[in-house]
Structure 1
């Protein structure tokens, strides 16, 4: 029997609840499809930070390096630890250390889910550059607290970084409907975004089968609301991808359905999978968090590990549950009820 070594970081708030639900489903899929998950749980979280002064130990990255994949529940407890501390102390270091440069987020309406739009039938794969760009961490503040205080946040784009995320987007488009839209703001950002457009055109020559569109971020936001069914694969920078994926989550029914993967396509280092709904401290431990995004992220992890049948079966089971109205409206189903419905559909 194939065994996959998984590092579990439940994290904060509802991350604990949805990680438990996800592992129930993934282990059931393993039993059905003939593989096992060897898991180790790490308590790295805001609570861990308050106890130790760090979001993870100094050797945390080297510890994670020995695993096949990483599963993260959620991170953040802003009442006790600033988001800038928790994010830069755990999530971002993992993404950067393991070169998880492709953030992948699927956006589509599941059966039985009513989104806020009239549009139906859209299926968008948003690919966000995940390690540089506007979130590179380059910049600083001087003369703090004074009238002449200055703060800078420098967006850093490298040819290697832009080229590899664009090429990854084209590879995904080749497996789907062969349409890629590159999102920039090159009419206003005449250096970084013009550079991004140029690299996109260069890489596009290698994929003549793919239809390529170029859109500005503001126009793309309107497009996702007015006519999302026209979109296939979207590729965007770190900041623009962040904005678009939250919009994508909104049109697919909310953050309870927002799954994601942080992928390192080129190296033998672990990728990381996480729902993107946040830690929601106000509902933590109350058995009302929607675990669908977390379970969907777990399915993406199995697909990445080569367990494609199991991944497809989990997605089918999720839709079987939502088609019955389970988990489709906030607060209408408990975490436990949603998990049981998905398990029942998976076993059936």
Structure 2
């Protein structure tokens, strides 16, 4: 059985890190017999240059027909301020594929504690998952903008909360069984709806999951005070955007952080770092965030948990060996790092 992976290399370091992930996936395919096939398509800034559209129709059709989508990175200074921007392609991609939940695991690998901005004893043991609602809330609400007054509406329906909460509850069941739901229920009506829905779901569908609630301002503080306490964190779009960026630095480098955007259909998998145009084409980028995103793809979209576990173990072993890319204080290159992980996976 062939499983079609659509690859969107994008801009900046995107093509380099995606090529690294493909190297590791090919090793996983050889070891686990996954039947993977790969197609590259234009997306982002490069697609604007070639087609006048960051998400051309050919790319759209390929993504809709894929088993999963791997995305490198988009954007760069040459497209800033333009009428058509690479980031518009991201919104269109998510809308087309109906991805409403963004999963961002934050793991501090053993031996990298000194790279966290926190003291080592506070950073040790960080292993959490943020589940962020991706298509609702203030980013997608009605808005009015004038010279002296502006309004952004934050709106959620019970159905929107239910579908993302269900993903978070199920994730908690597969981990240590704890879910922290983050809101601002003391102030916002949309947050009070959010909390009521989550409480009802826990009682009716997930009584085996321990649920607690935290206001978003307190959560921003607790992520720094006691990050290792958290397991799965569920929150709405804007809060999740802010908290996941805060949490991303705890593991020592944003280059290590993967993500998955999931819904009812095709999933999108990408590292959370940007296109880093200042180092593009130099072979300095850390491919591990992209490689770990590929592992998430195997687990969530291709039902290949053994292969995902294998990739994650190979990454951990690679880091434990002392090999480091520049963002981690070393000199290893992008391709060299990917080849080393692939070799460990195949051994």
Q: What is the aligned counterpart of 1:276 among 272, 279, 293?
A: 272
State the partner residue of 2:194. 196
**Which consecutive residues of structure 1, in runs of 5 or more, have no partner in the other structure?**
143-147
Which blocks of at least 5 consecutive residues in structure 2 are unaligned?
Answer: none
Secondary structure, aligned partner of 2:345: helix
- 1:325: Cα distance to partner? 1.7
Equivalent residue runs for 1:149-228 within 5 Å: 149-189=148-188, 191-206=189-204, 207-228=206-227
1:100 aligns with 2:96: no
CA distance in 2, matches of 1:257, 1:285: 19
**Deviation at residue 137 of structure 1 after TM alignment:** 5.3
Structure 1 position 59, deviation (Å)? 5.5
Counterpart in 2 of 1:326? 323
Report the Cα offset of residue 339 of structure 1.
1.3
In structure 1, the residue matched to 2:76 is 77
Write the deviation string for residues 140-174 of structure 1: whole angstroms up to 9, x where unpaired: 434xxxxx443332222111101111122111111
**2:85, 2:105 → 1: CA distance?**
25
TM-score by length of structure 1 reads 0.92
TM-score normalised per structure 2: 0.92
Q: For the residues of structure 2 that align with 1:239 and 1:41, how far apart are their CA atoms?
A: 31
Any idea what the Cα deviations from partners look like across 1:87-134, whole Å, max 9, x if unmatched? Answer: 552111121222211111111111322322222112101100011112
Distance of 1:171 and 1:220 partners within structure 2: 22
Deviation, structure 1 residue 48:
2.1
In angstroms, what is the RMSD of aligned CA positions? Answer: 1.8
Counterpart position of 2:117: 116
Aligned twin of 2:293: 297
Contact 1:170 1:180 (8 Å CA) reproduced: yes
Q: SS of the residue aligned with 2:56?
A: coil
Higher helix share: 2
Taking the aligned partners of 1:82 and 1:43, their CA distance within structure 2 comes to: 21
Say which of 122, 128, 132 aligns to 2:132. 128
Q: Does the CA contact (< 8 Å) of 2:55 and 2:93 recur in 1?
A: no
Decide whether the 8 Å contact of 2:103 with 2:260 is kept in 1. yes
SS at match of 1:209: coil
Q: Quote the residue 2:345 is aligned against.
A: 346
**Helix, strand or coil at the partner of 2:2:** strand
Work out the number of aligned pairs and report it: 338
Cα separation, 1, equivalents of 2:82 and 2:321 = 37
Q: Does the 8 Å CA contact 1:13/1:284 hold for their aligned counterparts?
A: yes
Q: CA deviation at 1:35?
A: 2.0
Shift of the alpha carbon at 1:347? 1.8
Give, in angstroms, the shift of residue 78 of structure 1: 3.4
